[in-house]
Structure 1
Amino acid sequence: MSLRKRLARSPALIGTMGGLAHGYLGHCQRRTRWERRGDADLRAALAEGPVLLILRHSRLMLGPFHWPRDTADLSSLHDTSPIARIAGDTHRRSGLTPVAMSPRLSNLAMSRLVMDRLRAGASIGITADGPLGPAGRVNDPPIDWARSIGRPVFFYAYSVERQARAKSWDRLLLPRPGGRGAVVFRRWEGTVPRRLDTQAREAARASLQAGLDAATAEADAMLGLPPGP
Protein backbone atom coordinates (compact mmCIF):
# COMPACT_ATOMS: atom_id res chain seq x y z
CA MET A 1 0.00 0.00 0.00
CA SER A 2 1.33 3.45 -0.92
CA LEU A 3 2.20 5.99 1.78
CA ARG A 4 -0.58 8.26 0.52
CA LYS A 5 -3.20 5.52 0.99
CA ARG A 6 -1.81 4.61 4.41
CA LEU A 7 -2.03 8.27 5.46
CA ALA A 8 -5.59 8.55 4.16
CA ARG A 9 -6.67 5.56 6.26
CA SER A 10 -4.73 6.19 9.46
CA PRO A 11 -5.39 9.19 11.75
CA ALA A 12 -2.61 7.86 14.00
CA LEU A 13 -0.10 8.03 11.15
CA ILE A 14 -1.30 11.54 10.30
CA GLY A 15 -0.63 12.53 13.91
CA THR A 16 2.83 10.95 13.87
CA MET A 17 3.79 12.73 10.65
CA GLY A 18 2.32 15.98 11.96
CA GLY A 19 4.34 15.69 15.17
CA LEU A 20 7.57 15.09 13.27
CA ALA A 21 6.88 18.01 10.91
CA HIS A 22 6.00 20.33 13.78
CA GLY A 23 9.15 19.40 15.67
CA TYR A 24 11.38 20.05 12.67
CA LEU A 25 9.70 23.33 11.73
CA GLY A 26 9.91 24.52 15.33
CA HIS A 27 13.64 23.79 15.28
CA CYS A 28 14.02 25.82 12.05
CA GLN A 29 12.02 28.68 13.57
CA ARG A 30 14.19 28.81 16.69
CA ARG A 31 17.49 28.56 14.81
CA THR A 32 16.69 31.36 12.34
CA ARG A 33 17.41 35.06 13.00
CA TRP A 34 14.16 36.77 12.06
CA GLU A 35 13.37 40.27 10.83
CA ARG A 36 9.65 41.09 10.82
CA ARG A 37 7.59 43.82 9.18
CA GLY A 38 3.95 44.72 9.56
CA ASP A 39 3.34 43.25 13.03
CA ALA A 40 2.06 46.52 14.48
CA ASP A 41 -0.52 47.01 11.71
CA LEU A 42 -1.73 43.43 12.05
CA ARG A 43 -2.05 43.63 15.83
CA ALA A 44 -3.91 46.94 15.57
CA ALA A 45 -6.41 45.37 13.18
CA LEU A 46 -6.80 42.27 15.36
CA ALA A 47 -7.60 44.49 18.34
CA GLU A 48 -10.79 45.42 16.46
CA GLY A 49 -11.71 41.91 15.32
CA PRO A 50 -10.74 39.03 13.00
CA VAL A 51 -9.00 39.44 9.64
CA LEU A 52 -8.62 37.41 6.46
CA LEU A 53 -5.02 36.26 5.91
CA ILE A 54 -3.93 35.38 2.36
CA LEU A 55 -0.66 33.70 1.38
CA ARG A 56 0.92 31.62 -1.37
CA HIS A 57 0.75 27.85 -0.97
CA SER A 58 4.54 27.73 -1.37
CA ARG A 59 5.05 29.90 1.73
CA LEU A 60 2.78 28.14 4.22
CA MET A 61 5.23 25.95 6.17
CA LEU A 62 6.11 28.41 8.96
CA GLY A 63 2.89 30.42 9.04
CA PRO A 64 1.68 28.95 12.38
CA PHE A 65 4.90 30.07 14.06
CA HIS A 66 4.63 33.65 12.76
CA TRP A 67 0.98 34.35 13.56
CA PRO A 68 0.62 36.42 16.80
CA ARG A 69 -1.03 33.64 18.81
CA ASP A 70 -0.97 35.78 21.96
CA THR A 71 -3.38 38.20 20.24
CA ALA A 72 -5.90 36.07 18.34
CA ASP A 73 -6.71 32.59 17.06
CA LEU A 74 -6.31 31.70 13.37
CA SER A 75 -8.36 29.09 11.54
CA SER A 76 -6.57 27.94 8.40
CA LEU A 77 -8.85 26.48 5.73
CA HIS A 78 -7.48 23.30 4.20
CA ASP A 79 -8.72 20.40 2.11
CA THR A 80 -8.94 16.80 3.32
CA SER A 81 -5.99 15.31 1.42
CA PRO A 82 -3.40 13.49 3.58
CA ILE A 83 -0.80 16.24 3.15
CA ALA A 84 -3.34 18.93 4.06
CA ARG A 85 -4.37 16.93 7.13
CA ILE A 86 -0.73 16.73 8.23
CA ALA A 87 -0.48 20.51 7.81
CA GLY A 88 -3.66 20.90 9.86
CA ASP A 89 -2.11 18.75 12.60
CA THR A 90 0.96 21.02 12.74
CA HIS A 91 -1.36 24.03 13.08
CA ARG A 92 -3.21 22.42 15.98
CA ARG A 93 0.12 21.68 17.68
CA SER A 94 0.94 25.39 17.31
CA GLY A 95 -2.19 26.36 19.24
CA LEU A 96 -4.30 27.34 16.23
CA THR A 97 -7.66 25.97 15.03
CA PRO A 98 -7.55 24.62 11.46
CA VAL A 99 -10.79 23.86 9.59
CA ALA A 100 -11.04 21.02 7.08
CA MET A 101 -13.15 22.02 4.08
CA SER A 102 -14.47 18.71 2.79
CA PRO A 103 -15.63 18.60 -0.85
CA ARG A 104 -18.72 16.79 0.47
CA LEU A 105 -19.87 19.96 2.21
CA SER A 106 -22.20 22.35 0.42
CA ASN A 107 -21.17 25.97 -0.05
CA LEU A 108 -23.72 26.91 2.61
CA ALA A 109 -22.26 24.43 5.11
CA MET A 110 -18.73 25.67 4.47
CA SER A 111 -19.87 29.27 4.90
CA ARG A 112 -21.46 28.38 8.23
CA LEU A 113 -18.22 26.78 9.41
CA VAL A 114 -16.23 29.88 8.55
CA MET A 115 -18.78 32.27 10.05
CA ASP A 116 -18.82 30.21 13.25
CA ARG A 117 -15.06 30.62 13.54
CA LEU A 118 -15.34 34.37 12.93
CA ARG A 119 -18.02 34.71 15.59
CA ALA A 120 -15.67 32.87 17.96
CA GLY A 121 -13.09 35.60 17.30
CA ALA A 122 -10.80 33.60 15.02
CA SER A 123 -9.23 35.08 11.92
CA ILE A 124 -9.32 33.05 8.69
CA GLY A 125 -6.22 31.97 6.76
CA ILE A 126 -6.35 30.80 3.14
CA THR A 127 -3.85 30.09 0.39
CA ALA A 128 -4.52 32.15 -2.70
CA ASP A 129 -3.55 29.37 -5.10
CA GLY A 130 -4.36 26.18 -3.17
CA PRO A 131 -4.83 23.36 -3.21
CA LEU A 132 -3.75 22.70 -6.82
CA GLY A 133 -2.77 26.01 -8.41
CA PRO A 134 -1.96 27.52 -10.78
CA ALA A 135 1.03 28.31 -8.56
CA GLY A 136 1.10 31.84 -7.22
CA ARG A 137 -2.18 32.85 -8.86
CA VAL A 138 -5.14 34.22 -6.89
CA ASN A 139 -8.08 31.86 -7.36
CA ASP A 140 -11.74 32.65 -6.64
CA PRO A 141 -12.01 31.56 -2.95
CA PRO A 142 -9.96 34.47 -1.48
CA ILE A 143 -12.09 36.91 -3.46
CA ASP A 144 -15.31 35.29 -2.35
CA TRP A 145 -14.28 35.12 1.33
CA ALA A 146 -13.07 38.73 1.32
CA ARG A 147 -16.47 39.73 -0.05
CA SER A 148 -18.49 37.51 2.28
CA ILE A 149 -16.88 38.20 5.64
CA GLY A 150 -16.23 41.91 5.18
CA ARG A 151 -13.14 41.97 7.38
CA PRO A 152 -9.70 43.55 6.76
CA VAL A 153 -7.44 41.53 4.45
CA PHE A 154 -3.74 40.95 5.17
CA PHE A 155 -1.07 39.29 3.07
CA TYR A 156 1.57 37.09 4.67
CA ALA A 157 4.90 35.85 3.34
CA TYR A 158 8.12 34.51 4.77
CA SER A 159 11.53 33.80 3.31
CA VAL A 160 14.74 32.22 4.58
CA GLU A 161 18.35 32.21 3.44
CA ARG A 162 18.73 28.49 4.10
CA GLN A 163 16.12 26.67 2.10
CA ALA A 164 15.26 23.95 -0.37
CA ARG A 165 12.36 23.61 -2.77
CA ALA A 166 10.06 20.63 -3.08
CA LYS A 167 9.44 19.08 -6.48
CA SER A 168 5.77 19.95 -6.18
CA TRP A 169 3.36 21.99 -8.28
CA ASP A 170 3.99 25.07 -6.09
CA ARG A 171 7.74 24.48 -5.48
CA LEU A 172 7.03 24.52 -1.74
CA LEU A 173 9.68 26.41 0.24
CA LEU A 174 11.32 24.03 2.75
CA PRO A 175 13.21 25.90 5.50
CA ARG A 176 16.50 24.70 6.92
CA PRO A 177 17.87 25.65 10.35
CA GLY A 178 20.18 28.64 10.68
CA GLY A 179 20.76 31.85 8.77
CA ARG A 180 18.42 34.81 8.45
CA GLY A 181 14.70 34.88 7.86
CA ALA A 182 12.11 37.51 6.95
CA VAL A 183 8.40 37.77 7.78
CA VAL A 184 6.00 40.24 6.14
CA PHE A 185 2.39 41.09 7.01
CA ARG A 186 0.81 43.73 4.75
CA ARG A 187 -2.73 45.10 4.78
CA TRP A 188 -4.68 45.20 1.54
CA GLU A 189 -6.06 48.65 0.87
CA GLY A 190 -8.61 47.46 -1.68
CA THR A 191 -12.15 46.17 -1.25
CA VAL A 192 -14.41 43.63 -2.92
CA PRO A 193 -17.83 45.11 -3.83
CA ARG A 194 -20.94 43.33 -2.61
CA ARG A 195 -22.31 43.17 -6.16
CA LEU A 196 -19.58 41.19 -7.90
CA ASP A 197 -19.92 41.02 -11.66
CA THR A 198 -17.19 39.62 -13.90
CA GLN A 199 -15.43 42.95 -14.35
CA ALA A 200 -15.41 43.68 -10.61
CA ARG A 201 -14.18 40.17 -9.82
CA GLU A 202 -11.24 40.47 -12.20
CA ALA A 203 -10.37 43.92 -10.85
CA ALA A 204 -10.36 42.52 -7.30
CA ARG A 205 -8.27 39.55 -8.42
CA ALA A 206 -5.69 41.83 -10.03
CA SER A 207 -5.47 44.02 -6.93
CA LEU A 208 -5.11 41.02 -4.59
CA GLN A 209 -2.54 39.50 -6.92
CA ALA A 210 -0.45 42.66 -6.91
CA GLY A 211 -0.58 42.88 -3.11
CA LEU A 212 0.34 39.22 -2.58
CA ASP A 213 3.18 39.39 -5.10
CA ALA A 214 4.53 42.54 -3.47
CA ALA A 215 4.48 41.05 0.04
CA THR A 216 6.20 37.87 -1.14
CA ALA A 217 8.85 39.78 -3.10
CA GLU A 218 9.44 42.04 -0.10
CA ALA A 219 10.21 39.05 2.15
CA ASP A 220 12.77 37.80 -0.39
CA ALA A 221 14.27 41.27 -0.86
CA MET A 222 14.80 41.69 2.88
CA LEU A 223 17.34 38.86 2.60
CA GLY A 224 18.85 40.04 -0.69
CA LEU A 225 17.21 37.18 -2.58
CA PRO A 226 15.55 37.46 -6.02
CA PRO A 227 11.76 37.05 -6.06
CA GLY A 228 10.84 33.39 -5.86
CA PRO A 229 7.65 31.35 -6.09
Structure 2
Amino acid sequence: MAKKRTLFNNRLLATLAGVLLNAYGELFRRTSRIRFQAHPGVEQLVKEQGSAVIFALWHRHAFFVPLLRGFQRQPITVLLSAHRDAQIVAVAVRLRGLKVVAGSSTRGGLKAYLQLRRVLDQRQSVCITPDGPKGPAEQVKAGVIHLAQLSGCAIVPVAVACSRVHRLRSWDRSVLPLPFSRVVIALGEPLRSEGPLEKGQDHLAAGLRQAAAWAGESSP
Protein backbone atom coordinates (compact mmCIF):
# COMPACT_ATOMS: atom_id res chain seq x y z
CA MET A 1 0.00 0.00 0.00
CA ALA A 2 2.89 2.37 0.76
CA LYS A 3 4.27 1.89 -2.76
CA LYS A 4 0.83 2.65 -4.19
CA ARG A 5 0.59 5.90 -2.22
CA THR A 6 4.10 6.88 -3.36
CA LEU A 7 3.07 6.45 -6.99
CA PHE A 8 -0.05 8.56 -6.57
CA ASN A 9 1.80 11.31 -4.67
CA ASN A 10 4.62 11.57 -7.22
CA ARG A 11 3.38 13.68 -10.11
CA LEU A 12 6.11 12.52 -12.48
CA LEU A 13 5.41 8.83 -11.84
CA ALA A 14 1.65 9.38 -12.09
CA THR A 15 2.12 11.18 -15.41
CA LEU A 16 4.33 8.36 -16.72
CA ALA A 17 1.71 5.81 -15.68
CA GLY A 18 -0.94 7.87 -17.50
CA VAL A 19 1.19 7.97 -20.66
CA LEU A 20 1.61 4.19 -20.55
CA LEU A 21 -2.12 3.72 -20.02
CA ASN A 22 -2.80 5.93 -23.02
CA ALA A 23 -0.32 3.93 -25.13
CA TYR A 24 -2.13 0.73 -24.21
CA GLY A 25 -5.45 2.33 -25.10
CA GLU A 26 -4.11 3.33 -28.49
CA LEU A 27 -2.79 -0.20 -29.08
CA PHE A 28 -6.21 -1.59 -28.24
CA ARG A 29 -7.96 0.88 -30.55
CA ARG A 30 -5.68 0.22 -33.51
CA THR A 31 -5.84 -3.57 -33.26
CA SER A 32 -9.55 -3.95 -32.54
CA ARG A 33 -12.68 -3.75 -34.66
CA ILE A 34 -14.97 -1.15 -33.11
CA ARG A 35 -18.58 -0.66 -34.17
CA PHE A 36 -21.23 1.80 -32.94
CA GLN A 37 -24.92 0.99 -32.68
CA ALA A 38 -26.82 4.23 -32.14
CA HIS A 39 -30.51 4.76 -31.56
CA PRO A 40 -31.98 7.06 -34.26
CA GLY A 41 -32.72 9.62 -31.57
CA VAL A 42 -29.02 9.86 -30.72
CA GLU A 43 -28.10 10.29 -34.37
CA GLN A 44 -30.61 13.10 -34.64
CA LEU A 45 -29.52 14.91 -31.47
CA VAL A 46 -25.76 14.60 -31.87
CA LYS A 47 -25.08 14.47 -35.58
CA GLU A 48 -28.00 16.33 -37.13
CA GLN A 49 -28.80 18.96 -34.50
CA GLY A 50 -25.35 19.23 -32.88
CA SER A 51 -26.96 19.14 -29.43
CA ALA A 52 -25.06 18.46 -26.23
CA VAL A 53 -25.95 15.22 -24.44
CA ILE A 54 -24.95 13.47 -21.25
CA PHE A 55 -23.39 10.10 -22.04
CA ALA A 56 -23.83 7.71 -19.09
CA LEU A 57 -22.18 4.30 -18.70
CA TRP A 58 -21.36 2.04 -15.79
CA HIS A 59 -18.02 2.61 -14.09
CA ARG A 60 -16.77 -0.81 -15.16
CA HIS A 61 -16.68 0.47 -18.76
CA ALA A 62 -14.63 3.60 -18.00
CA PHE A 63 -11.73 2.42 -20.20
CA PHE A 64 -13.96 2.75 -23.27
CA VAL A 65 -14.93 6.40 -22.69
CA PRO A 66 -12.29 7.84 -25.10
CA LEU A 67 -13.78 5.73 -27.89
CA LEU A 68 -16.88 7.94 -27.80
CA ARG A 69 -14.85 10.49 -29.77
CA GLY A 70 -15.25 8.13 -32.71
CA PHE A 71 -18.99 8.82 -32.69
CA GLN A 72 -19.20 12.37 -31.39
CA ARG A 73 -16.13 13.73 -33.26
CA GLN A 74 -16.33 16.81 -31.05
CA PRO A 75 -14.89 17.64 -27.62
CA ILE A 76 -16.29 15.58 -24.74
CA THR A 77 -15.75 16.43 -21.09
CA VAL A 78 -15.42 13.51 -18.67
CA LEU A 79 -16.22 13.59 -14.96
CA LEU A 80 -13.48 11.80 -13.01
CA SER A 81 -12.98 11.29 -9.30
CA ALA A 82 -10.97 13.92 -7.45
CA HIS A 83 -9.02 11.18 -5.66
CA ARG A 84 -5.33 10.70 -6.38
CA ASP A 85 -5.64 7.40 -8.20
CA ALA A 86 -7.90 9.01 -10.81
CA GLN A 87 -5.13 11.42 -11.79
CA ILE A 88 -3.40 8.65 -13.75
CA VAL A 89 -6.60 8.12 -15.72
CA ALA A 90 -6.93 11.88 -16.20
CA VAL A 91 -3.53 12.02 -17.91
CA ALA A 92 -4.51 9.24 -20.32
CA VAL A 93 -7.94 10.77 -21.02
CA ARG A 94 -6.45 14.16 -21.89
CA LEU A 95 -3.92 12.53 -24.21
CA ARG A 96 -6.85 10.92 -26.04
CA GLY A 97 -8.34 14.35 -26.76
CA LEU A 98 -10.96 14.59 -24.03
CA LYS A 99 -11.39 17.23 -21.34
CA VAL A 100 -11.58 16.43 -17.62
CA VAL A 101 -13.59 17.76 -14.69
CA ALA A 102 -12.58 16.40 -11.29
CA GLY A 103 -15.14 15.71 -8.59
CA SER A 104 -17.28 13.06 -6.92
CA SER A 105 -20.24 12.74 -4.58
CA THR A 106 -17.88 12.93 -1.59
CA ARG A 107 -15.27 15.39 -2.83
CA GLY A 108 -15.75 18.52 -4.94
CA GLY A 109 -19.06 17.31 -6.30
CA LEU A 110 -20.95 20.64 -6.38
CA LYS A 111 -18.11 22.49 -8.09
CA ALA A 112 -17.72 19.70 -10.65
CA TYR A 113 -21.41 19.65 -11.55
CA LEU A 114 -21.45 23.43 -11.96
CA GLN A 115 -18.55 23.05 -14.39
CA LEU A 116 -20.39 20.33 -16.30
CA ARG A 117 -23.46 22.55 -16.48
CA ARG A 118 -21.36 25.30 -18.11
CA VAL A 119 -19.93 22.80 -20.59
CA LEU A 120 -23.42 21.66 -21.57
CA ASP A 121 -24.55 25.27 -21.93
CA GLN A 122 -21.75 25.64 -24.50
CA ARG A 123 -23.34 22.80 -26.53
CA GLN A 124 -20.56 20.35 -25.70
CA SER A 125 -21.34 16.85 -24.46
CA VAL A 126 -20.21 15.32 -21.17
CA CYS A 127 -19.70 11.74 -19.98
CA ILE A 128 -20.49 10.45 -16.48
CA THR A 129 -20.35 7.09 -14.74
CA PRO A 130 -23.49 7.24 -12.57
CA ASP A 131 -22.34 4.60 -10.07
CA GLY A 132 -19.37 4.86 -7.72
CA PRO A 133 -17.33 3.08 -5.01
CA LYS A 134 -19.42 4.57 -2.19
CA GLY A 135 -22.41 2.55 -3.36
CA PRO A 136 -23.19 -0.75 -5.07
CA ALA A 137 -22.17 -1.21 -8.69
CA GLU A 138 -24.90 -0.51 -11.24
CA GLN A 139 -26.81 1.80 -8.88
CA VAL A 140 -27.62 5.14 -10.47
CA LYS A 141 -26.85 8.11 -8.22
CA ALA A 142 -29.03 11.19 -8.26
CA GLY A 143 -26.35 13.60 -9.51
CA VAL A 144 -26.60 12.71 -13.19
CA ILE A 145 -30.40 13.03 -13.09
CA HIS A 146 -30.19 16.40 -11.37
CA LEU A 147 -27.70 17.61 -14.00
CA ALA A 148 -30.01 16.53 -16.81
CA GLN A 149 -32.96 18.34 -15.25
CA LEU A 150 -31.00 21.56 -14.69
CA SER A 151 -29.44 21.59 -18.16
CA GLY A 152 -32.41 20.28 -20.11
CA CYS A 153 -30.06 17.88 -21.92
CA ALA A 154 -30.91 14.29 -22.75
CA ILE A 155 -29.07 11.37 -21.14
CA VAL A 156 -27.75 8.76 -23.56
CA PRO A 157 -27.28 5.33 -21.91
CA VAL A 158 -24.10 3.64 -23.18
CA ALA A 159 -23.13 -0.03 -22.97
CA VAL A 160 -20.15 -1.93 -24.35
CA ALA A 161 -19.60 -5.54 -25.42
CA CYS A 162 -16.00 -6.60 -25.99
CA SER A 163 -14.94 -10.07 -27.17
CA ARG A 164 -11.63 -10.22 -25.24
CA VAL A 165 -11.41 -8.74 -21.75
CA HIS A 166 -9.79 -9.14 -18.37
CA ARG A 167 -11.93 -8.26 -15.37
CA LEU A 168 -10.17 -6.54 -12.50
CA ARG A 169 -10.79 -7.44 -8.87
CA SER A 170 -12.34 -4.06 -8.15
CA TRP A 171 -15.65 -3.15 -6.52
CA ASP A 172 -17.32 -2.96 -9.95
CA ARG A 173 -15.38 -5.73 -11.76
CA SER A 174 -13.89 -3.16 -14.15
CA VAL A 175 -13.24 -4.31 -17.71
CA LEU A 176 -9.72 -4.13 -19.15
CA PRO A 177 -10.13 -4.84 -22.89
CA LEU A 178 -7.47 -6.85 -24.69
CA PRO A 179 -6.01 -6.08 -28.13
CA PHE A 180 -7.46 -7.71 -31.25
CA SER A 181 -10.99 -7.56 -29.92
CA ARG A 182 -14.39 -7.06 -31.51
CA VAL A 183 -16.20 -4.21 -29.79
CA VAL A 184 -19.81 -3.04 -29.98
CA ILE A 185 -20.68 0.29 -28.37
CA ALA A 186 -24.45 0.70 -28.02
CA LEU A 187 -25.90 4.19 -27.61
CA GLY A 188 -29.43 3.71 -26.34
CA GLU A 189 -32.55 5.82 -26.66
CA PRO A 190 -32.03 9.38 -25.29
CA LEU A 191 -33.83 9.90 -21.98
CA ARG A 192 -35.46 13.11 -20.80
CA SER A 193 -35.63 13.35 -17.03
CA GLU A 194 -38.71 14.94 -15.49
CA GLY A 195 -40.37 14.57 -12.13
CA PRO A 196 -38.85 12.94 -9.00
CA LEU A 197 -35.15 12.08 -9.02
CA GLU A 198 -35.92 8.50 -8.01
CA LYS A 199 -38.05 8.01 -11.11
CA GLY A 200 -35.21 9.33 -13.27
CA GLN A 201 -32.73 6.99 -11.57
CA ASP A 202 -34.92 3.97 -12.26
CA HIS A 203 -35.47 5.09 -15.84
CA LEU A 204 -31.73 5.43 -16.52
CA ALA A 205 -30.93 2.08 -14.88
CA ALA A 206 -33.50 0.44 -17.17
CA GLY A 207 -32.03 2.27 -20.18
CA LEU A 208 -28.54 1.02 -19.34
CA ARG A 209 -29.81 -2.54 -19.05
CA GLN A 210 -31.53 -2.25 -22.43
CA ALA A 211 -28.35 -0.84 -24.01
CA ALA A 212 -26.34 -3.74 -22.56
CA ALA A 213 -28.76 -6.27 -24.05
CA TRP A 214 -28.62 -4.48 -27.40
CA ALA A 215 -24.82 -4.50 -27.39
CA GLY A 216 -24.78 -8.20 -26.49
CA GLU A 217 -22.78 -7.66 -23.30
CA SER A 218 -22.22 -10.73 -21.16
CA SER A 219 -22.95 -10.56 -17.44
CA PRO A 220 -20.12 -9.20 -15.24
State the TM-score, normalizing by the size of structure 1. 0.85
Any stretches of 5+ residues in structure 2 without a counterpart? Answer: none
For residue 82 of structure 1, give the secondary structure of its aligned residue in structure 2.
coil
- Partners of 2:208 and 2:72 in 1: how far apart? 25
For residue 99 of structure 1, give the secondary structure of its aligned residue in structure 2.
strand
- Partners of 2:166 and 2:29 in 1: how far apart? 15
Give the superposition deviation at 1:83: 2.7
Q: 2:149 aligns with which of 147, 150, 154?
A: 147
* Counterpart for residue 87 of structure 2: 85
* Counterpart for residue 32 of structure 1: 32
State the TM-score, normalizing by the size of structure 2. 0.88
Any stretches of 5+ residues in structure 1 without a counterpart? Answer: 194-199
Give the superposition deviation at 1:24: 0.7
**Root mean square deviation, CA, Å:** 2.2
Give % identity.
Answer: 26
- Partners of 1:42 and 1:113 in 2: how far apart? 23
**Structure 1 20/104 Cα, relative in aligned 2: closer, same or farther at 3 Å?**
same
Q: Is the 1:190–1:207 Cα contact (8 Å) retained in structure 2?
A: no
**Structure 1 52/8 Cα, relative in aligned 2: closer, same or farther at 3 Å?**
same
Number of residue pairs the alignment of both structures matches: 217
Matched ranges for 1:110-125 at <5 A: 110-125=112-127
Q: Cα deviations across residues 52-106 of structure 1 (Å, max 9, x unaligned)?
A: 1110000110210233476321111111223321222111011110111165547
**Structure 1 215/104 Cα, relative in aligned 2: closer, same or farther at 3 Å?**
closer
Which amino acid counterpart does residue 157 of structure 1 have in structure 2? A
**Structure 1 18/41 Cα, relative in aligned 2: closer, same or farther at 3 Å?**
farther
Which amino acid counterpart does residue 42 of structure 2 have in structure 1? L
- Partners of 2:154 and 2:193 in 1: how far apart? 9
